[in-house]
Amino acid sequence: MKKKVVLFHPAIAPYRVDFFNSLNDAFDAEFYFEFHNVLEQSFKQQALIDRLHFTPHYLKKGLFGIKNLRWQILSILRQTKPDLVICSEYNLTTVLVLLYKWLFQRSLEVISICDDSCGTAATEGLIKQWSRSLLVQRLDGIILTNLSIFNWYQTHLKRYGRLLYFPIIQKDEQVRAQLCEALPISQNIWNQQFKKGQQILLFVGRLIAIKNLHFLLEALNQIKEEYPDAILLLVGEGEEQQALQQKVVAYGLEKRVIFVGKQEGATLYAYYNLGQIFILPSYYERFGAVVNEALLAGCYTLCSSAAGAACLIQEGVNGALFDPHNVADLAQKLRMALSQTAPLQQVTVKPNQMLTSYSQYLQKLLKDLSV
């Protein structure tokens, strides 16, 4: 008989769909979501729901306008009587699940998925630090998304038992298939907007302050004379776009930086096919799922050392790390990457640069969860 699992999570996001489906396939699972979309972003939910192997359920609004204060959680647990509950982070949802365990089902396993990185864990506000310290010792396990945070948990929180690891990644074969399907779109974009001999730099994400894109433009400005054929594509939208456009003009980079706008689905994968070097310059990033997508698309990836996804980079093999506060460091990493990247002559699906597959990570996690 399969283990009964209930998962509570904020929302369905494209980089979590494979993980949710894998849990559903491995266990007798039910999935409850707090919101109908990711709060900071807006994904095409129906397209994501169509990919699910299960029917998602949605929680009612929290009491008194407090988003995580959902007493419905207690009745769901009374009805389903799960063996394992998987929560997200250290919020009131997790508190309610632990309360149910203490009151009604002491044998219940409660595990939380936490997207902490060393940078975010060390700099969060006092309330979040307090709630983490309070709950971390009461959980039966914690799923962390990057390896560097393990030592932080052991040193600062004295948590040694059952720290599990599963990065925010997607199934290799599925993403690779989508890249192949998007190739005609890539070729059409290439033929209309680019010319042979250019080197394509790529950023995908929201155009907001935390992504540190002014820093990226400054680094590009430093190397523009050395690499006159390097073109930067900014795929996304956000509140910083106008300021970034002004900086592009100030640096004289109008022909070197292209604002593509927000893209999803096949068109997004088409731009991953075009990109040769991917850059994530964020100075604060719990993980950075776009790094996984870029590596699966075969992009040599320059990743901020402050991003949790830095754990996916092996220096000099599939990318490099840089200090998001040191523009000279990023400029030097760009020089190195561009010097090793041949100008693009035709658009193809590049070899996969992920060094460990989704299935390898998943098998170990499922083994740990099945105990």
Domain boundaries, the chain: 4-169+357-369, 172-339
Which long-range contacts link 41-45 to residues 24+ away (Cβ below 8 Å)? 41/13, 41/206, 43/12, 43/13, 43/14, 43/264, 44/264, 44/265, 45/12
4-169+357-369 CATH pick, 3.40.140.10, 3.40.50.2000, 3.90.1570.10, 3.40.1010.20: 3.40.50.2000
* 4-169+357-369 and 172-339 have identical folds: yes
Residue 65's pLDDT band (cuts 50, 70, 90): low
- In whole angstroms, how far apart are CA 52 and each of 17, 35, 77, 221? 7, 16, 22, 43
At residue 223 the predicted structure's pLDDT band, cuts being 50, 70 and 90, is very high
Q: What would the pLDDT profile of 253-286 be if each residue is shown by its tens digit?
A: 999 999 999 999 999 999 999 999 999 999 888 7
Highest mean pLDDT among 37-46, 114-123, 299-308: 299-308
Q: Is 29 helix (H, G, I), strand (E, B) or coil?
A: strand
At residue 71, the pLDDT reads 86
The answer, yes or no, to whether residue 317 has pLDDT greater than 90, is yes
Give the count of beta carbons closer than 10 Å to the beta carbon of residue 222. Answer: 17
Token pair of 25 as six digits: 């396939």
Q: Tell me what pLDDT residue 38 has.
A: 67
Cβ-contact 141, 164 below 8 angstroms: yes
Q: Stretch 46-71: mean pLDDT, rounded?
A: 83
User: What is d(CA 21, CA 24) in angstroms, rounded to the nearest whole number?
Assistant: 5
> pLDDT at position 47, please?
85
**pLDDT tier at 89, thresholds 50, 70, 90:** confident
Return the CATH number of the domain spanning residue range 172-339. Answer: 3.40.50.2000
pLDDT in tens, 336-370: 999 999 999 999 999 999 998 999 999 999 999 98
64 pLDDT more than 70: no
The token duo for 46 is: 């129906």
Pure H helices in the chain = 17-26, 45-51, 72-80, 92-104, 118-123, 126-136, 148-156, 172-193, 213-223, 241-251, 265-274, 289-296, 327-339, 358-369
Q: Token pair for residue 254?
A: 């109008």
Q: How many residues does the chain have?
A: 371
Which amino acid belongs to residue 286? R
Between the CA atoms of 68, 70, 73 and 75, what dihedral angle is there, to the nearest 10 degrees?
170
Query: Residue 18 above 90 pLDDT?
Result: yes
Spatial separation of the C-alpha atoms in residues 358 and 173, rounded to whole Å: 9
* DSSP, res 52: -
pLDDT cut 90: percent of the chain above it? 70
CA distances from 236 to 82, 187, 334 (A): 40, 20, 21
Residue 67: count other Cβ atoms within 10 Å of its Cβ. Answer: 16
